[in-house]
Amino acid sequence: MSRRSVYDWGQLLMDDDQKTERYNRPVRADARRNIDALLRAARAVFDASGVDAPVKEIADRAGVGVGTLYRHFPQRPDLITAIIRKEVDACADAASLLLARHAPAEALARWMQRLVDLVATKRGLGAALHSGNPAYQSLPGSVHGRLTPALQGLLDAAVAAGTVRADVDASELLLAAMRVAAPASDGDIAQARRMVALMVDGVRFGAGAPSERDGNRAPSGRPRAKRPRK
């Protein structure tokens, strides 16, 4: 996989103000059902046939007319952006749900695997996202604004429980996890899950011990060895 295919998710997953306002605008229940059906259908069709698949194929799979598709998503980039937005929102919302159902360390581990699923969403969309189309370059990089607080909440809970190191930066961990999970965008989800699981093991190492910031840890992250008494 090329370095380019990792791409900067901070640029891919962000929305400009106009798109945010349009997609957050309240809609009727039947319109919401159509939108959700179109997003599910588009993701499946793009994954199977690529982003240049005919829009009629998407509409047919969703059980709506082509006119309905264009009414909600006038341009193809609008549809692709909406798919990504939906997945990012679902990933962020999953953090609190996992904390309510699992111990903090387990909730963190499960959410980090949820990131793999998010990165896998890019499969089938890569041709469009890397096309240089200005429609995608205008998307502000809000991945951190949406996902970092979710990850921070998980880390705070795990630190309070003494199961995760206190010196883990949520923003850095998110960026590292997205990059490590990059093989999922090429279909190698199993490898991505193994690598992310190793990262989770890493943030558990030294849990409950004083952080390096208070001078009680060596630069390596391991506890300083006690000097023998004379």
CA 96 to chain centre: 15
User: Is the dihedral angle over the CA atoms 36, 16, 152, 118 positive or is it negative?
Assistant: positive
Give the highest mean pLDDT range of 120-124, 131-135, 200-204, 225-229. Answer: 200-204
Angle at 69 between CA 67 and CA 75, to 5 degrees: 105
Per-residue pLDDT at 49: 84
**SS3 state at 9:** helix
Q: How do residues 84-104 score in pLDDT, each as one tens digit?
A: 888 889 999 999 999 999 999
Which pTM value belongs to this model? 0.72
Give CA 55 to chain center in angstroms: 26
Enter the CATH code of domain 7-207. 1.10.357.10
- Burial tier of 14 (Cβ tally within 10 Å: 0-12, 13-18, 19+): buried
Q: What is the pLDDT of residue 153?
A: 97
Report CA torsion sign: 65, 66, 70, 73. positive
The tens digit of pLDDT for each residue in 156-179 reads: 999 999 999 999 999 999 989 989
* DSSP letter string, 147-196: HHHHHHHHHHHHHHTTSS-TT--HHHHHHHHHHHTGGGGGT-HHHHHHHH
